[in-house]
C-alpha cells in the first residue's frame, strides 16, 4: 500500500531532480547538420531574407524609376540600373552558395553518416573533443585547422566562425563565398544610399526632376506620385513616398554600418592571415589575467642598528628548565618504521 499523508496525497513521489534527469535521458541525441538549410532554421535567416526582398522591391520598383535619364544611361552606355541589378543578383548567388556548401572536414564528409546521432562526449575519458587530430564526436581523423562546431555538431575544415545569418559554419570551403556575400551586400547598400540621397535632395531643390516619366503628363496634381512604374503604377500622396524613403534610408544606413564594419574586419584578418577563431583566441588570451610575479624583497642594509641589537640579545637562563637554543629541533615522535625525519622550527615564545 502507498503511504498516504493527512491530506490524502501519496508520498512516494519522484523528486524534481530525478524527473529532470529522466527527461534528459529521454531526449534524443542531436544530429549533425549538413548546411544552412538543415533544421533547425535560425530566425536571423528570416530577417536577412526579408531585408533583401524589401530592399530589392523598393529599390527597383519605387526609387530607380525616379532617376533621370542621365543616371539610367551613364558613360559607355552602362546603365546604373544594370549595375545595381548585377550587384543584387551576384549577392543572391554567392549567398545561396555559402548557405548550401557543406563546410565539414573531408574525412567527415566521406566517412561520417549524418543520419546517425552524435555520441555524448565523456569528459572523464577525454580532456578535449579533438586530440591528436582525432575527433571523439565525429570519430574520424581531421586536419590541423579543423574545429568541432557545437551548433553544426561536426568538425569544420579551416573553421572561421559559425554564422547565424547563414545558419551555417564558415570554413575553408565556403569562406570566400561568405566574404563576397558581405562585400556585395555592402556595395549594394551603398548604391541604395546614393539613390535615396539624390531623391531627397532633388525633392527639396526641384521636385519636377523626379517626375520625368511620360505617365506623369496625365497627372495634374503635384502631390500625387506613381509607384512601381515599370509594372503597374500605383498613385500615392507625397507623405507616403517620403515615409517609405525615410524608413528605407534608416534601414540602409544601419545595415551599411554593420556590414561595412564586418567587411573591414575581414580585410584586417586577411592581411594578418588570421581566422575569426584565431583572433578571438588571441584577444581572450590577452585579456586573461596573468599570474602575479613574485616581488623580491629589498636587500637589508648593513649596519642596521636595530638588527644588530636583536642579534646581540640573549635569552635569560632558568634554573628549572634547560636553555633552548633558537634553532630547529629534530622530532623524535616518528614511528620506528619511518625512514624520514622532519625539522621543526624553533618555538616563538622565549623560555622562562
163 given a catalytic annotation: yes
C-alpha 91/C-alpha 59 separation (Å) is 15
CB neighbours of residue 298 within 10 Å: 6
The span from the first CA to the last CA of the chain, in angstroms, equals 75
Helix 43-58 and helix 175-205, axial crossing angle in degrees, nearest 10: 40
Residues with Cβ within 8 Å of 4's Cβ and at least 6 positions away in sequence, in order, are 10, 11
Name the β-bridge partners of 280.
none
C-alpha cell belonging to residue 183: 562585400
Residues in the chain: 352
Classify residue 179 as exposed, middle or buried by CB count within 10 Å of its CB (0-12, 13-18, 19+): buried
Catalytic residue among 149, 155, 163, 169: 163
User: For residue 303, is it left (φ>0), alpha (ψ between -120 and 50) or beta?
Assistant: left
- Rg of the chain over Cα atoms, rounded to whole angstroms, equals 38
CA distance 61 to 119: 51
Please give the C-alpha separations between residue 238 and each of 95, 221, 224, 235, in angstroms, as whole numbers. 36, 11, 6, 10
> What totals of helices (H) and strands (E) does the chain contain, helices first?
9, 11
Residues belonging to the active site: 163
Amino acid at each position: 500500500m502507498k503511504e498516504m499523508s493527512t491530506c490524502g496525497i501519496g508520498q512516494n513521489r519522484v523528486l524534481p531532480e530525478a524527473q529532470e534527469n529522466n527527461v534528459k535521458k529521454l531526449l534524443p541525441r542531436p544530429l549533425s547538420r549538413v548546411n544552412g538549410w538543415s533544421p533547425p532554421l535560425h530566425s536571423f535567416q528570416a530577417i536577412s531574407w526579408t531585408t533583401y526582398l524589401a530592399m530589392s522591391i523598393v529599390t527597383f520598383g519605387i526609387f530607380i524609376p525616379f532617376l533621370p535619364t542621365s543616371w539610367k544611361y551613364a558613360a559607355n552606355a552602362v546603365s546604373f540600373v544594370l549595375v545595381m541589378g548585377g550587384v543584387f543578383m551576384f549577392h543572391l548567388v554567392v549567398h545561396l552558395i555559402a548557405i548550401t556548401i557543406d563546410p565539414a572536414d573531408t574525412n567527415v564528409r566521406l566517412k561520417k553518416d549524418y543520419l546517425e546521432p552524435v555520441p555524448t562526449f565523456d569528459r572523464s575519458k577525454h580532456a578535449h573533443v579533438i586530440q591528436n587530430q582525432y575527433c571523439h564526436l565525429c570519430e574520424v581523423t581531421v586536419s590541423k585547422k579543423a574545429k568541432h562546431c557545437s551548433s553544426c555538431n561536426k568538425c569544420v575544415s579551416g573553421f572561421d566562425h559559425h554564422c547565424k545569418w547563414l545558419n551555417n559554419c564558415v570554413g575553408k570551403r565556403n569562406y570566400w563565398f561568405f566574404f563576397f556575400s558581405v562585400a556585395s551586400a555592402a556595395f549594394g547598400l551603398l548604391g541604395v544610399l546614393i539613390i535615396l540621397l539624390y531623391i531627397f535632395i532633388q525633392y527639396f531643390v526641384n521636385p519636377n526632376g523626379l517626375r520625368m516619366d511620360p505617365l506623369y503628363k496625365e497627372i495634374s496634381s503635384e502631390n500625387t506620385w506613381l509607384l512601381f512604374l515599370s509594372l503597374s503604377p500605383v498613385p500615392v500622396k507625397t507623405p507616403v513616398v517620403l515615409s517609405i524613403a525615410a524608413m528605407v534610408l534608416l534601414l540602409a544606413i544601419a545595415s551599411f554600418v554593420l556590414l561595412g564594419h564586418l567587411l573591414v574586419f575581414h580585410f584586417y584578418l586577411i592581411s594578418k592571415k588570421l581566422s575569426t577563431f584565431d583572433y578571438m583566441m588571441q584577444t581572450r588570451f590577452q585579456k586573461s589575467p596573468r599570474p602575479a610575479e613574485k616581488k623580491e624583497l629589498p636587500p637589508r642594509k648593513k649596519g642596521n642598528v636595530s638588527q644588530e641589537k636583536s642579534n646581540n640579545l640573549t635569552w635569560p637562563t632558568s634554573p628549572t628548565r634547560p636553555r633552548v637554543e633558537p634553532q630547529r629541533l629534530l622530532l623524535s615522535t616518528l614511528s620506528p618504521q619511518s625512514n624520514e625525519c622532519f625539522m621543526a622550527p624553533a618555538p616563538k615564545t622565549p623560555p622562562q
